[in-house]
Amino acid sequence: MGTTGAGTTDAGTTDAGAVGGAGEDELAEARTAEPRWLEHDEQYAWRSFIFAATSILEELSNVLETDPAIDLTLHEYEILVRLSEQDEQRIRMSDLADQVVHSRSRLTHTVARLERRGLVERVRCAADGRGREAVLTAEGMALLVRAAPVHVESVRTVLLDRVGHADFLELGRILRQAVPQEEPGSRASA
């Protein structure tokens, strides 16, 4: 299936990769300028990225979800990791949403599930009393201690062992260029 000149694929779906990776100024310009269609090899690379990213994340989440001693989604695991890395294992909900790249609404629902399991508590912010903070409980930390080795092994099996150490590091370098916001290495979960 190729990309037609109208910005859709032969199947009529939108060519999401046509303007990928651009900043705000470039996106505004792209809306008014002639589209910069992807070359065949670029389209192949884009689709490979989407397929691989989706497949890898699903596989990593499945490992955690299907282990009866863990039973966490990858998103839930990431929240526990981020909380464990904070001073006093607590963080304002809005800051946590930014760190895990979730909408505030999605984060609220995910934290509510963790709260029902006794893994996280939501409390008023100690600093100003206005906002809410998520706090990792002792039960949450205990589950994280059990889950971390399983998750790290699955990252190795699902990705690192398949592409090798050097390519894995190169992938990280490339992705940091694509998303040049805050450096994720300082708060990595794997």
The burial of 126, by beta-carbon neighbours within 10 Å (0-12 exposed, 13-18 middle, 19 or more buried), is given as exposed
Q: 104 near 184, Cβ under 8 Å? A: no
What domains are there in the chain, each with its CATH number?
39-174 (1.10.10.10)
What length is written for the chain? 190
Per-residue pLDDT of the chain (190 residues; tens, 9 = 90+): 444 444 444 443 444 444 445 577 777 776 778 899 999 999 999 999 999 999 999 999 999 999 999 999 999 999 999 999 999 999 999 999 999 988 889 999 999 999 999 999 999 987 887 889 999 999 999 999 999 999 999 999 999 999 999 999 999 999 999 886 764 444 444 4
CA angle, residues 124, 127, 132, in degrees to nearest 5: 25
Token digits for 127?
């600093």
d(CA 130, CA 50): 39
